Every structure is written in C-alpha cells, then in structure tokens.
Amino acid sequence: MTDQNQNPENEEPTAPESKFSDKRRIDPETGEVRAPDAGQGAGQGAGSPDPASAGAGAEGATASADPADRPAEGSDATDEELVELLQEAERDLVAEYRDRAARAEAELKNFRTRVERDRAANREAVIAEVIRTLLPAIDDLDRAEAHGDLTEGSSLEIVAKKLRGGFERYGLRVVGEKGESFDPQFHEALVRIPSSEVTSNTVADVIETGYALGDRLIRAAKVAVHVPEE
C-alpha cells in the first residue's frame, strides 16, 4: 500500500513567491532620501517623457528668463533708427530755437528804432514849443533891425545875434522869401495881387516871416501873392 503523502499527484501546489518593491522616496527607517532606482530611471528614459514633467520644466524655464532679455513685443525699431530719430528731433529743435532767436532780434531792433524815432520826435516837439513862445521876441528884433535900431556893436545887436545863432543851431530856418513860388503848406496868403509878369502864384512880399524846424512847420509865413491875370 502506497503512502498518499508520497504521491506527487496528491501534493498541493506551492504559491509563487511575491516580490514587494518599495518605491517610497523617503526611507521610513532612516528618514533619508533614497537614490532613484536605476531600473526605474532606465524605464522612464526608454519611454516617452512625462507630460507633466515636461510642462513644468518649460514653465520653469520661461519663468526663470529675465524679462529685460526678451525683445519688446511690437517694436521693430533698431538702435540705428532710434538714433536717427533722435538726431532729426534735435535738428528740428535747434532750427526752431534759431528761428525764434532771429525773430526776437528783429523785434528788438525794430523796438530800438521806434524808441529812437519817438525820442527824436519828442525832442523836436519840445524845441519847437520853446521857439514858438520866443517868436514874438524875434519879430521885435526883426522890426528893430528894419528901422535901423540894431546898430553895429550895440548891445541889442549882440543879443539878436546870440538868439538867432542859438535857434539856428537847433535847425531853425526861415520860411517865406520874396520871389519864391507860393506853397500853401508854408505860406499864408493875406493879399492876392494880379500881375501880368507871373505865370504862377509867386510871393510878392513877406508881411510876417515864417519859421520851420526841420520838416516841422512852427509858423507859416504871411505873404502877399502875385497871381496871373485872367
């Protein structure tokens, strides 16, 4: 009789031995970080890369890039173009300030000319007013000379010379002489005498002498005028 325990057919099959792979990064006993498994690294290298890892790497690289190193979006101007634009703006600014300076200089010159002209006109007006107030004294000296009262070397004759010389120094001139053409701007006709000897109005006689200071008439000469006969 055969022992059943020795019959191979009656023996129970042995379960295959299970293998446990600890994939934890931290060693539970020592608390240290484990080195990556060579096989695991090889397996990952042979397969396709993890999309999450690739995305994280790309995002980190983009984030780590300095914004100053990246070119400005929408900017096509080069350094040479910027320099040329700055030089052109500088030339325009210089030209504008030169034009302003030229206009300011011209305005200043015109202002000085107006001031000098007004100053000369005011000076002439003051002198003319002073002479106008002294004309009666000059008329008296002329009448005295006509009557022979201004004898040579007399005190009155010396005063008359000094007074007339002072007026002539300021540009005073006599208006109205016998025989000159009649000018209504400088002559005032008191008498009109027809004459066959003249073809145009002519001063026949000076009743009262006129005076002018430059182009300014101080007093018109009162005259008698010869007019052509009709």
DSSP string, 55-105: HHHHHHHHHHS-GGGSPPTT----HHHHHHHHHHHHHHHHHHHHHHHHHHH
Query: Residue 165's Cα: distance from chain center in Å?
Result: 52
| pLDDT at residue 204, as a whole number | 92
Which residue is listed with tokens 């040479």? 80
Which residue is listed with tokens 């020795």? 6
Using CB atoms within 10 A of its CB, is residue 164 exposed (0-12), middle (13-18) or buried (19+)? middle
Work out the angle at residue 144's Cα, subtended by the Cα atoms of residues 143 and 149, and round it to the nearest 5 degrees: 155
Rounded CA gap, 92 and 186, in Å? 58
Structure tokens at 124: 């002439």
Query: Residue 9's Cα: distance from chain center in Å?
Result: 120
DSSP string, 35-50: PPPHHHHHHHHHSPPP
Residue ranges in the chain whose pLDDT is less than 70: 1-26, 31, 33-77
Phi first, then psi, for residue 217 (nearest 5°) are: -80, 120
Q: Which residues contact 139 (CB under 8 A, 6 or more apart)?
A: 208, 209
With CA atoms as reference, report the closest residue to 182 among 211, 212, 190, 168. 190
| pLDDT at residue 31, as a whole number | 65
| pLDDT at residue 116, as a whole number | 93
